[in-house]
Amino acid sequence: MKCCAECFGDRGLTKNILPPLVVEQGRCDFCRTQGAQLIEPSSLREYFSAIANIYEPADGGKILADWLRQDWRLFDHELMDSVRASSLLSVVLDDAQIVQRQLIPSIQYESESLGKWEVLRDELLHTNRFFPEAAIDYDRLGELLSYLIADEVRNTWYRARIQMGDAAFALAEMGAPPKRVASHGRANPPGIPYLYLGSTEHTAASEIRPHTGELASVAEFQLPDGLKLVDLREPRKLVSPFELAGEDEIGGMRMDIGFLERLGGELTRPVLPQGAAIDYVPSQYLCEFIKKCGYEGVLYSSSVSDGINLALFDPTKAVAQSVKTARVTRVEVGIEDV
């Protein structure tokens, strides 16, 4: 029986590990993908053994397939349920027993990164802004960011501005604001303008919180190839355990992924306008560090649409192509009890 990249859905495995292991092309025996590049499951035994070793038997735990799905977002193909994933793992590991055992993560792998960030975050918000006493492991954070470099970034992005009348803004007015008038943003402190772009026209318009019936100028921007961006949308899908060197690195990364998810949440969390000057400080601090590490921008999930947002640190990297007027036809509001 043969498996394929679609069975696992892991970026590192697909790009860097599986290609030289391909033995034929055809239908996958596990996820049923047609015309797939097929490999022998046993060729992945060393990789999966290292991952499996960071879990240990315990009553009340979960099976290995479920841990791999939760911790690393493996087996996200619609046909790869727990039964089929366990079947594949039993062939990969040549062990039908281990895939049925109840497991928990080993307690030997611990990380204080998330806790230290919460302490630093609170100090930045309410005690010390420019010279905080609390600190995180910046070397480790820099290392973690290197696993989140975006690939295959689209070239076309959009920015929207609410119009004051019927005429659209001039193309030259659709870029980042001048330094003297740049206000607080999710990524930028006041006076340091970044360019905020949406992956679609709808995303760009949603981000300016318009009212039904308002007119908005929507500009199209083109980005050059090769921008070095950090993608904070879904760290568990980007970090590949197969590219880590051994059990200690895998176990340590498993603990730190929660920290990366928390940082991504800083850029996505809804913030009320009246509290933006304070509430944006942690995400601004994070983006300043990312910029210091040599990255050119940050990708993050939109909190008001299904699209993607980009905070571009150097607005001149994007070139405005065209601008048009659009009318906002509908604004939806959701509520929940608190």
The torsion region of residue 201 among left (phi > 0), alpha (psi -120 to 50) and beta comes to alpha
- How many Å apart are CA 182 and CA 34, to the nearest integer? 52
Per-residue tokens: 263: 């940082």
- Name the H helices within 76-137: 82-93, 113-126
In the structure encoding, which two tokens stand for residue 298, read together? 């940050």
Q: Which two structure tokens, joined as six digits, stand for 293?
A: 């590490």
Distance in angstroms (rounded) separating the CA atoms of residues 157 and 40: 41
* Successive 10-residue mean pLDDT values, the chain, 338 residues: 96 95 96 96 96 95 97 96 96 94 92 93 96 94 96 95 95 95 94 97 95 97 97 95 93 94 90 88 96 97 91 98 96 86
- Sequence letter at residue 298: V
Cα 213–Cα 218–Cα 222 angle in degrees, nearest 5 = 165
317/311 Cα distance (integer angstroms):
11
pTM above 0.85, yes or no: yes
Tokens of 267: 């850029």
At 61 the pLDDT is 96
Distances from the Cα of 38 to the Cαs of 14, 19, 23, 160, in angstroms?
Answer: 12, 9, 6, 45
| 119-148 core/surface letters (b: 16 or more CB in 10 A; e: else) | ebbeebeeeeeeeeeeebbeeebeebbebb
**Dist CA 117 CA 111 (whole Å):** 11
**Beta strands of the chain (E only): which ranges?**
24-26, 36-38, 55-62, 103-105, 156-162, 195-198, 215-222, 229-231, 297-301, 308-312, 319-327
